[in-house]
Each structure stands twice: as C-alpha cells, then as structure tokens.
C-alpha cells in the first residue's frame, strides 16, 4: 500500500516555509526494479525525497525538474526527475556498490558519491530551462542540497533526508524535510530554528518511530506550523514503446542500418524502471 505523501507549510507569520515527505514506498519500488544495494539505495533515496519536495515548490501543473548528482565515487551518476504532481523516478549508474560502513557505523554515502557537482534543471514552460549548479561539499547529500538551495536559489535553507535499509536490502523508511527562511525572518528566529534542527533526532530515527511528514515539520517549527497542502507521491516512469521508437529514430538511418546488420534487432532498457523493450528487425526497418 502506498502511503507516500508530502506536505507544504508555513510558520511564524510566513517568515518560514517548510516541506516534508515520506517516500518509503516509491523508493522500495525503485529498489526492486533497479536492484540497488544499500549504499546506492541510501544515496538515491536522499535525492528522491529532495526532488519530491522541490517538486512541491513548482507552481504550474506542467512544471518539472531534474536533479543530477555527478560524483567521482563508485556510484557514478544519480539522476532523479520530479514534477509538480507528485510523480518521481530516478536511477543510479552503478546500483551494485558495496562499501564498508563509515566511521560512525553508517552507510558511507559520501564515499560512494565522491567529489563532483550537483546540478538542477527546471522546465518551467519558458523558452530556456532554469539551470543551477554547485560543487558537492560533502557527498552526504543533505548538506549538499542545503548548500544548493542557499547558494544557487538564494533561499537560506536546511535539508534533512534519510533512508533506512533492511538487512535484505529492502527499504524500511525514506523521507525528509526542507526548512526555508523567507524575507523578514529575524536573526534570532534563524538561530532558534538552527538550534532546534541540530537537536532534532535523525530523519530515519523519526520515521522508524512512525513519524508522518507533518510530524517532521512540527518537531522543528512547533505549534506555529500551518499545513497548507498535502500531496500524494508516487513512482512513475514515462517510458513507452512510442518513446523508444522515437529515440531509435533519432539515431538516423545510417546507425539503424548498422544495428540491423550487426544484431538484426535492438534491445532497449529504460534506465529509470529497468523495463526491457525488444525491437524487431521489421520495426527497425520501418524507422529508416
């Protein structure tokens, strides 16, 4: 049963806004489809939760965004797409990565991701998409998303994301929060919330105890929390046979003739959902 959803809230007379999400079910589906090992699931899940919450920040129905983590660690690239309607999909280049636990006995996401860049592309229906990019400052991702929102989008933010993976590699919990300071937030309020965030238990600890998205926010914002909207969240891939045909057609006649000559047919696997599309010789010929 899919119990994933996100919430959007304000607090302190609109001086603070917050987003929180539980993404356990959708990450579980991705894990089963992509066969991610624990550290890959943790990195993908932290990105999925952030993308889902950033999707809730989008204003129009057709708006969508892509988060790309390009690190030099063994995971390779992490790519997650999200839209304003709560659908999310994502993948990691190398899902079967196994690393020793880090110094505090946790999955070593920072080492798995490595050094590199965090890129965000937003399609807002304008002539050109919005693009933002920052260097990865830790590779743990929560800190990196905090840095991105504060530096690139110029909104002082705090991001907390976490994933709890079971011994059989299945997903026990996934989710997170984003707290943002709006214009007019006093230094005293900022310091108060920073202290509150630092003393708040980890996201995974709270989710393990049954916390809902609104609980993640009220834990930090207290009674001032005003929930404005609730958004169901779900995994959804947009691949289809028609899209695969169009992708193959874009290769051009010469490349298609080479595929027919060498293999006789084509097998296309979607990065995001692992769906396999077999394309026959006759179908390839019809695309030339």
pLDDT score of 282: 87
pLDDT score of 90: 98
pLDDT score of 103: 93
Asked if 260 and 281 touch (Cβ cutoff 8 Å), the reply is: yes
- DSSP calls for the chain: ----EEEEEEETTTTEEEEEEE-HHHHHHHHHHHT--HHHHHHHHHHHHHHHHHHHH--STT-EEEEEEEESSTT-EEEEEEETTSEEEEEES---------TTSS--HHHHH-SEEEEEEEE-SSSS-EEEEEE-SSSSSHHHHHHHHHHTS---EEEEEEEEE-TTS-EEEEEEEEEEEPTT--HHHHHHHHHHHHHSPPHHHHHHTT--HHHHHHHHHGGG-EEEEEEE-EE-----HHHHHHHHHTT-HHHHHHHHHHTSSEEEE-TTT--EEEE-HHHHHHT-
What is the rounded average pLDDT of the residues 201-209?
96
Q: Which residue has the higher pLDDT, 248 or 26?
A: 26
What is the rounded average pLDDT of the residues 1-12?
94
Average pLDDT over the chain reads 95
d(CA 239, CA 276): 10
pLDDT tens by residue, 8-26? 999 999 999 999 999 999 9
What is the rounded average pLDDT of the residues 194-221?
96
Confidence label for 262 from pLDDT (cuts 50, 70 and 90) = confident
Judged against a pLDDT cut of 90, whether residue 287 lies above it is answered with no
d(CA 30, CA 170): 10
Confidence label for 172 from pLDDT (cuts 50, 70 and 90) = very high
pLDDT tens by residue, 87-143? 999 999 999 999 999 999 999 999 999 999 999 999 998 889 999 999 999 999 999
The full set of domains in the chain, from first to last, is 5-235 (3.55.30.10), 241-286 (3.90.1280.10)
pLDDT tens by residue, 217-247? 999 999 889 999 999 999 999 999 999 999 8
């Amino acid at each position: 049963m899919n119990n994933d959803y996100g919430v959007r809230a304000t607090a302190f007379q609109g001086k603070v806004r917050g987003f929180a999400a539980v993404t356990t079910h959708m990450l579980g589906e991705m894990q089963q489809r992509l066969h991610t090992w624990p550290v890959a699931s943790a990195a993908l899940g932290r990105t999925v939760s952030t993308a889902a919450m950033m999707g809730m920040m989008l204003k129009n129905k057709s708006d969508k965004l892509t988060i790309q983590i390009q690190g030099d660690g063994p995971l390779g690239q992490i790519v997650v797409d999200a839209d304003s309607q709560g659908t999310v999909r994502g993948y990691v280049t190398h899902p079967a990565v196994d690393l020793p636990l880090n110094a505090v006995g946790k999955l070593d996401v920072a080492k798995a991701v490595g050094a590199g860049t965090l890129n965000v592309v937003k399609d807002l229906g304008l002539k050109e998409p919005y693009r933002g990019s920052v260097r990865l400052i830790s590779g743990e991702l929560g800190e990196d998303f905090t840095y991105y929102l504060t530096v690139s989008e110029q909104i002082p933010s705090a991001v907390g994301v976490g994933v709890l993976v079971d011994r059989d590699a299945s997903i026990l919990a996934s989710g997170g929060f984003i707290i943002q300071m709006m214009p007019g937030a006093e230094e005293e309020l900022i310091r108060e919330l920073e202290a509150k965030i630092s003393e708040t238990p980890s996201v995974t600890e709270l989710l393990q105890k049954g916390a809902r998205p609104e609980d993640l926010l009220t834990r930090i914002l207290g009674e001032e929390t005003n929930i404005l909207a609730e958004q169901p969240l779900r995994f959804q891939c947009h691949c289809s046979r028609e899209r695969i045909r169009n992708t193959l057609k874009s290769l051009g006649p010469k490349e298609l003739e080479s595929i027919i000559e060498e293999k006789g047919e084509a097998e296309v696997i979607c990065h995001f959902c692992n769906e396999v599309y077999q394309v026959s010789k006759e179908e390839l010929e019809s695309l030339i």
